[in-house]
């Protein structure tokens, strides 16, 4: 029941938010998001670190087709549930400085989005998974299309069509797998699908691999399926960008772990190298592009693209380091990127600009902002004792174990990452104040209320990654045993 | 069951050929004529060719369901005529003609 | 909590208090808290040192990262090497903290500065105390961060910011090598603990020249190149002088930059089995020593001269490592920490007195105004030039003796380098402290000896620079080489052949190098005191001197070869490739669908007859298709 309430609570919260007016809207939305967080923390606390699916609930949905409404949480889901419940309250808090038109709708959409995301990460039935996977697209589409920047219509349309296009391939693969299950009625729960997948020969696996790969590669995105991403991130309102980059792109990496690895291991073995190489190209390509970006949001968008490349390379390397690293990095990247986008938002609110060339010298009046910015930046460049390091260390180790040369090239991320992140910090924070950064005021209380917890998590997770690694390890080991 | 001799005097094949001929005349009428009323009549002709065939088979097989079909079709055709003629009248009132060739507004 | 964990924790605490309380903690208190933390750490180290019984001690604090069979624990190792490094770091570190109280007293970022210094100490202590390579890597990157923060301390100045970024990024290049080395170690030995790796290597029966060990050692050495500023990754160090002078003394002279040497000594059991790597290490060291020394000859910025001198001295240390003279190299690390910290602090004192002037062409005759600074600077100069009986002489000669044994040509280069060292150091000394004052009237009026908080550390370091050599007095002078003896257990598995240079040869070598040093010191005297030559203004430098003065245009070369192409590539990717190739395909598919639909919609021409004809035709086709067996028979 706990998992169901985790999905239902944001939906109810969203509906209630729709009925509120004025200042109350933000408060109600935030209160519910924190209640959800409490629920998430409770689940984290009572999760038993083994490979089973816990807090599971299942009842018939479409009986005649053997489709069930089946949800539950295992180690891999847990980390993403934690990410979602952790990030949404801060994403909502981060909007306190803005007044949106139709605010109730805006916050309700965020909460619906959360419900759909939790649904994706906890679904234990492929059709339920697909349902939530697509459902998550709708709120974020509206958030971007209604409250976005100038170019929003064209950009969000491209984003929507592109991702739907990918998802259809996934649907094909899912239906095919479903038809492979025994019986006239078939079954669509994960266990049956995994069981049925064992019978697939290499040709079948290759097709399914291709279908899944396109879907998830677009979602994450991987090179060369990424062109929707920077534009969408730039055009979407910052809260939408945070949802997209902080949580939604993890749907892709989660899908890789949940479906591609256990269902088509032979195809991964055969074509994994191509996927890893594409991922690594993405890392280097994204990082190099980020070096010269003028717009802070776009810069972070490309950095996010580069980071997700490393995650996918780690997953495709198919060893425990790579997958554990990817899991911990999903959490870490979520935290860092939400924090960084928020800082961009703060700068934009006060100066009306995100252009690096016009900024500078902000640090002189804002010691607090500087400290948080630097902590988040360090997390992003993977300095040891920050969350990013644990993830990147394990990921690189995983990729290195897969292939030393590819690992070495993927390792360029630690150099290039430093290049673009330091450039961004220097151009925006240091140097002499420009016309628009004069009199830049330091953080308000609500801004601190977002940045402090995020920065705290950056360091806490860097100091004690075992608090998550221990929980996910049994599930990952079980996953690897399926592959072998 | 025995089929009455009076019916058997005309072989079933004749009915088939005849219906086919009627049906083809109907089709050609629909395809070639541009007057809506004539097209309408051609459609009726096609329907009736089917009715004839149904009735014939029904008798030869001594199965009444074919004739029940015929009644259904006649009822539906009557309703169709009612609606169809009303539409045609409306068209005439609007464009003073019932030439379907001129009714090509609904395109790309 | 044991004393051992307290050592890094105290500076961390100092950092947190000063960092969180920045602008709330009063200035007077901030300095005391930080210095107190450093001194308390030093006290802990001293008590550990005197209680040390020769057995390595490992303290595990907590399990940090556990994945599969690999467990990386946050644990500390106290053995001969880490103890000595700890002594240098906390000892010299404390002195520099004290010095900074005076030096930074007028700076508005006083509290921040001390917070960063403490943070640096914390990471540096982690670096040398870690009992495995990953903890070393934490410290390794952490000191890089502090170096970044402190070089860019005066962040209003964009050039300083650029220097800071350059330092961080060049270090990161090295760090990647280090990281890959760690991966290779994990792959082959399944652990990152020094003790385990040592065990696997000794039990594994690795022959000298083993490929695996070669790769591991060379990758680790890439890390060392970055951190210890060796060719080709040395250009960040001179730029790092943008930071406040105490930082240059602590981070960019005495401690952080010697991390590479520490790492190689720590891994000596692998290096000793990789003669090819050692060969590379030795020659890279030699090349760096010569190149940096030659650049130092014509620099006019007091700190730049010292910076190139640091690079060059680090080169000597690597030279020593390359010929497996580990303890000699370490000896040089130690003495270098003393005299180079002293030189930088002295330079700081000069800069302080000169109101932030760093150009030696505008100094001169300062020995009257700054007597303590002058005398201590003189001692350090003699020490670095390798003139007995000061510290530098002993340590450098030990390295030279080993190098001579190993390779005579390299020895020749080394002596040549030490001649240059002596020349540029005395040139610096003479131009700064001798002759007439060449600055403005205002500066002259302002000239003053530094306060006691600054001169006290100078004096202590001067004593150490003068007498530091006696820690490891060689046998020929009746000493016991006590440092080498103390460190001997570290090299138990490396088959270090103790230099069996016969005494007369050793003496000859010493005499040669001393004479060389004295000759160039004399030459400097003749040129800069006798003839009162003043280096010409920047524009008038010409010929070969210009090339050297511009550091052989290496920075420009890097800019052309790496920075520019990557920038261009970035611009190309983001404005051309992204839109004209990738997005064109994506949008192209969309456009194709659109174009097809434009054609296909023409089928909907609105003519009823046409639709009906299509319908009839289709039905006919379907009927024919379904009856095809009937029709065709």
Question: What tens digit of pLDDT does each residue of C35-86 get?
Answer: 999 999 999 999 999 988 888 889 898 899 988 888 899 999 999 899 999 9
Number of helical H runs and strand E runs in chain C: 29, 2
Task: Note whether residue C581 is domain-resident.
Answer: yes
Domain count, chain C: 1
Residues in chain B with CB shorter than 8 Å from the CB of C611 are none
Domain count, chain A: 1
Retrieve residue A245's tokens.
């980059």
Contact C137 A390 (CB under 8 A): no
From the centroid of its chain, how far is CA C101?
25
Residue in A420, A403, A380, A397 with CA at minimum distance from that of residue A284: A420
Task: Note whether residue A21 is domain-resident.
Answer: no
What's the whole-number average pLDDT of chain C?
88
State yes or no: pLDDT of B52 exceeds 90. yes
Banded pLDDT at A13 (limits 50, 70, 90): very high
**Spatial CB neighbours of C262, under 8 Å, sequence gap ≥ 6:** C81, C85, C127, C128, C333
Decide if C616 touches B, using CB distance below 8 A.
yes
| Between C540 and A142, the higher pLDDT residue | A142
According to the model, what pLDDT value does residue C105 have?
A: 86
According to the model, what pLDDT value does residue C500 have?
A: 56
- Structural domains of chain B sorted by starting position, each given as residue range(s) with its CATH number in brackets: 11-98 (1.10.287.3510)
Rounded-to-integer distance, Cα C86 and Cα C258, Å:
12
Range of the domain at A467: 265-484
Task: Note whether residue A273 is domain-resident.
Answer: yes
How distant is the Cα of C573 from the closest Cα of chain A, in angstroms?
6
Question: What tens digit of pLDDT does each residue of C173-198 get?
Answer: 999 999 999 999 998 888 899 999 98
State yes or no: pLDDT of C473 exceeds 60. yes
Task: Note whether residue C11 is domain-resident.
Answer: no
Task: Note whether residue A380 is domain-resident.
Answer: yes
Task: Note whether residue A86 is domain-resident.
Answer: no
For chains A and C, count residue pairs whose Cβ atoms are closer than 8 Å.
134
Task: Note whether residue A391 is domain-resident.
Answer: yes
Tell me, what's the ipTM? 0.92
- Report, as an integer, the average pLDDT of C478-496: 79
For testing contact with chain C, the best of B16, B20, B28, B30 (most C CBs within 10 A): B30
Task: Note whether residue C620 is domain-resident.
Answer: yes
Asked if A touches C (at least 3 Cβ pairs < 8 angstroms), the answer reads yes
Range of the domain at C612: 557-632
Q: Tell the residue number behind the tokens 């049906």, with chain if given.
A: B23
State yes or no: pLDDT of C499 exceeds 70. no
Contact (CB, 8 A) for A369 and A360:
no
Task: Note whether residue A120 is domain-resident.
Answer: no
Asked if B touches A (at least 3 Cβ pairs < 8 angstroms), the answer reads no
Rounded-to-integer distance, Cα C82 and Cα C100, Å:
26
Query: Smallest Cβ distance to B30: which of C605, C606, C612?
Result: C612
Task: Note whether residue C612 is domain-resident.
Answer: yes
| Between A391 and C481, the higher pLDDT residue | A391
Task: Note whether residue A326 is domain-resident.
Answer: yes
Question: What tens digit of pLDDT does each residue of C289-315 get?
Answer: 999 999 988 888 889 999 999 999 999
- Report, as an integer, the average pLDDT of C492-517: 77
According to the model, what pLDDT value does residue A218 have?
A: 93
- Report, as an integer, the average pLDDT of C574-580: 85
How distant is the Cα of B23 from the closest Cα of chain C, in angstroms?
12
How distant is the Cα of C281 from the closest Cα of chain A, in angstroms?
22
Residues in chain A with CB shorter than 8 Å from the CB of C179 are 393, 396, 411, 414
How distant is the Cα of B4 from the closest Cα of chain C, in angstroms?
31
Instruction: Please report, for residues A241, C365, C534, C535, C541, the alpha-carbon distance to residue C538 in angstroms, rounded to integers and kept in the order given.
Output: 52, 22, 12, 9, 6
Task: Note whether residue A255 is domain-resident.
Answer: no
Asked if B touches C (at least 3 Cβ pairs < 8 angstroms), the answer reads yes
According to the model, what pLDDT value does residue C497 have?
A: 58
Banded pLDDT at C611 (limits 50, 70, 90): confident
- Specify the DSSP class assigned to residue A294: S
Task: Note whether residue C624 is domain-resident.
Answer: yes
Contact (CB, 8 A) for C104 and C246:
yes
Percent above pLDDT 90 for chain C: 37
- What residues of chain C, 564 to 603, have a C-beta less than 8 Å from chain B? 601-602
Nearest chain A residue (CA) to C176: A411
Banded pLDDT at C467 (limits 50, 70, 90): confident
Contact (CB, 8 A) for C410 and C336:
no
State yes or no: pLDDT of A279 exceeds 90. yes
Which residues are C62's β-sheet partners? C74
Those chains having 3 or more beta-carbon pairs within 8 angstroms of chain C are A, B
According to the model, what pLDDT value does residue A241 have?
A: 93
Collapse the DSSP code of C480 into the 3-class scheme (helix H, G, I; strand E, B; otherwise coil) and give the result. Answer: coil
Decide if C607 touches B, using CB distance below 8 A.
yes
Task: Note whether residue C70 is domain-resident.
Answer: no
- Specify the DSSP class assigned to residue C243: S
């Amino acid at each position: 029941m706990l998992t169901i309430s985790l999905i239902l609570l944001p939906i109810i919260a969203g509906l209630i938010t729709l009925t509120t007016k004025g200042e109350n809207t933000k408060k109600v939305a935030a209160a519910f998001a924190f209640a959800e967080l409490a629920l998430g923390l409770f689940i984290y606390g009572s999760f038993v670190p083994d490979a089973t699916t816990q807090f599971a609930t299942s009842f018939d949905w479409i009986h005649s087709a053997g489709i069930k409404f089946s949800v539950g949480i295992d180690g891999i889901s847990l980390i993403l549930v934690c990410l979602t419940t952790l990030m949404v309250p801060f994403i909502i808090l981060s909007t306190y400085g803005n007044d949106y038109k139709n605010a109730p709708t805006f916050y309700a959409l965020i909460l619906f989005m959360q419900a759909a995301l939790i649904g994706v990460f906890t679904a234990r039935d492929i059709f339920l998974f697909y349902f939530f996977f697509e459902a998550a697209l709708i709120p974020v589409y509206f958030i971007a299309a209604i409250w976005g920047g100038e170019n929003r219509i064209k950009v969000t349309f491209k984003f929507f069509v592109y991702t739907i296009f990918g998802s259809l391939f996934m649907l094909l693969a899912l239906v095919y797998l479903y038809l492979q299950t025994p019986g006239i009625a078939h079954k669509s729960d994960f266990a049956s699908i995994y069981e049925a997948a064992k019978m697939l020969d290499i040709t079948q696996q290759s097709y399914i691999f291709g279908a899944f790969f396109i879907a998830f590669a677009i979602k994450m995105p991987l090179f060369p399926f990424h062109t929707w991403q920077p534009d969408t991130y730039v055009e979407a309102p910052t809260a939408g960008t945070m949802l997209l980059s902080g949580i939604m792109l993890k749907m892709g990496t989660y899908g890789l772990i949940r479906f591609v690895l256990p269902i088509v291991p032979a195809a991964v073995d055969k074509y994994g190298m191509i996927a890893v190489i594409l991922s690594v190209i993405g890392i280097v390509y994204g990082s190099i592009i980020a070096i010269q970006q003028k717009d802070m949001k776009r810069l972070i968008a490309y950095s996010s693209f580069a980071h997700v490349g490393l995650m996918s390379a780690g997953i495709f390397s198919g060893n425990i380091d790579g997958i554990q690293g990817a899991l911990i990095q999903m959490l870490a990247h979520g935290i860092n990127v939400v924090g960084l986008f928020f800082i961009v938002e703060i700068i934009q609110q006060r100066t009306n600009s995100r252009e690096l060339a016009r900024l500078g010298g902000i640090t002189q009046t804002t010691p607090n902002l500087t400290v948080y910015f630097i902590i988040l930046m360090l997390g992003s460049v993977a300095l040891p004792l920050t969350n990013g390091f644990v993830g990147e260390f394990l990921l690189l180790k995983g990729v290195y174990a897969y292939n030393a040369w590819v690992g070495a090239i993927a390792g360029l991320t630690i150099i290039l990452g430093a290049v673009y992140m330091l450039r961004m910090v220097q151009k925006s924070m240091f140097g002499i104040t420009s016309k628009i950064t004069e009199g830049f005021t330091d953080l308000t209380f609500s801004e601190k209320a977002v940045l402090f917890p995020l920065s705290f998590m950056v360091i806490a997770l860097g100091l004690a990654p075992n608090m998550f690694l221990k929980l996910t390890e049994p599930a990952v080991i079980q996953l690897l045993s399926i592959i072998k | 069951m025995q089929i009455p001799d009076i019916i058997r005097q005309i072989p079933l094949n004749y009915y088939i050929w005849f219906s086919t001929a009627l049906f083809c005349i109907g089709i050609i009428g629909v395809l070639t004529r541009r007057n809506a009323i004539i097209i309408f009549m051609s459609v009726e002709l096609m329907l009736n060719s089917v009715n004839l065939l149904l009735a014939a088979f029904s008798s030869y097989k001594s199965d009444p369901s074919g004739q029940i079909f015929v009644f259904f079709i006649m009822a539906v055709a009557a309703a169709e005529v009612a609606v169809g003629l009303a539409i045609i009248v409306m068209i005439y009132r609007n464009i003073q003609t019932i030439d379907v060739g001129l009714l090509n507004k609904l395109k790309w | 909590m044991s004393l051992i964990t307290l050592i890094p924790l105290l500076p961390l605490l100092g950092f947190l208090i000063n960092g969180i309380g920045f602008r709330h903690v009063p200035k007077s208190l901030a300095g005391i808290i930080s210095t107190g933390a450093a001194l308390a750490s030093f006290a802990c180290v001293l008590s550990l040192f005197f209680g040390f019984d020769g057995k390595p001690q490992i303290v595990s604090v907590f399990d940090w990262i556990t994945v599969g069979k690999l467990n990386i624990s946050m644990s500390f190792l106290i053995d001969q090497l880490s103890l000595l490094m700890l002594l240098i770091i906390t000892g010299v570190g404390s002195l520099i903290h004290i010095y900074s109280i005076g030096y930074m007293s007028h700076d508005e970022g006083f509290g921040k500065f001390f917070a960063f210094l403490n943070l640096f100490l914390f990471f540096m202590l982690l670096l040398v105390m870690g009992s495995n390579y990953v903890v070393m890597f934490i410290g390794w990157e952490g000191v890089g961060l502090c170096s970044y923060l402190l070089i860019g301390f005066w962040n209003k100045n964009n050039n300083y910011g650029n220097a800071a970024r350059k330092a961080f990024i060049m270090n990161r290049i090295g760090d990647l090598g280090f990281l890959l080395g760690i991966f290779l170690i994990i792959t082959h030995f399944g652990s990152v603990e020094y003790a385990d790796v040592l065990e696997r290597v000794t039990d594994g029966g690795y022959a000298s020249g083993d490929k695996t060990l070669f790769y591991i050692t060379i990758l680790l050495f890439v890390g060392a190149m970055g951190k210890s500023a060796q060719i080709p990754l040395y250009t960040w160090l001179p730029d790092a002088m943008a930071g406040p002078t105490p930082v240059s003394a602590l981070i960019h002279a005495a401690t952080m930059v010697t991390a590479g040497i520490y790492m190689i000594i720590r891994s000596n059991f692998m290096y000793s089995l990789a003669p090819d790597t050692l060969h590379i290490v030795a020659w890279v060291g030699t090349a760096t020593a010569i190149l940096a020394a030659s650049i130092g000859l014509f620099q006019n910025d007091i700190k730049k001269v010292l910076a190139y001198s640091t690079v060059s001295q680090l080169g000597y240390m690597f030279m020593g490592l390359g010929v497996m003279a580990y303890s000699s190299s370490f000896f040089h690390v130690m003495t270098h920490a003393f005299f180079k910290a002293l030189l930088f602090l002295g330079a700081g004192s000069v800069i302080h007195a000169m109101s932030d002037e760093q150009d030696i062409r505008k100094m001169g005759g300062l020995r009257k105004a700054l007597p303590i600074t002058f005398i201590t600077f003189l001692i350090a100069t003699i020490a670095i030039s390798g003139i007995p009986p000061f510290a530098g002489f002993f340590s450098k000669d030990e390295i030279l003796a080993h190098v001579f044994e190993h390779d005579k040509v390299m020895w020749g280069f080394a002596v040549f380098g030490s001649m240059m060292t002596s020349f540029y150091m005395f040139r610096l000394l003479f131009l700064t402290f001798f002759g007439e004052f060449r600055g403005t009237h205002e500066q002259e009026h302002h000239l003053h000896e530094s306060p006691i908080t600054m001169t006290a550390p100078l004096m202590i370091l001067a004593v150490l620079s003068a007498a530091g050599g006696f820690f490891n007095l060689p046998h020929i002078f009746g000493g016991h080489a006590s440092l080498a003896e103390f460190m001997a257990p570290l090299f138990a598995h490396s088959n270090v052949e103790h230099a069996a240079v016969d005494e007369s040869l050793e003496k000859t070598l010493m005499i040669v190098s001393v004479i060389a040093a004295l000759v160039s010191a004399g030459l400097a005297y003749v040129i800069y005191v006798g003839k009162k030559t003043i280096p010409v203004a920047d524009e008038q430098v010409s010929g070969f001197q210009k090339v050297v003065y511009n550091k052989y245009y290496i920075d420009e070369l890097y800019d052309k070869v790496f920075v520019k192409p990557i920038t261009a590539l970035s611009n190309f990717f983001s404005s051309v490739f992204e839109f004209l190739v990738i997005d064109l395909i994506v949008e192209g598919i969309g456009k194709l669908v659109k174009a097809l639909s434009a054609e296909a919609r023409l089928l909907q021409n609105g003519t009823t007859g046409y639709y009906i004809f299509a319908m009839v035709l289709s039905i006919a086709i379907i009927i024919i298709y379904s009856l095809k067996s009937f029709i065709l028979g």
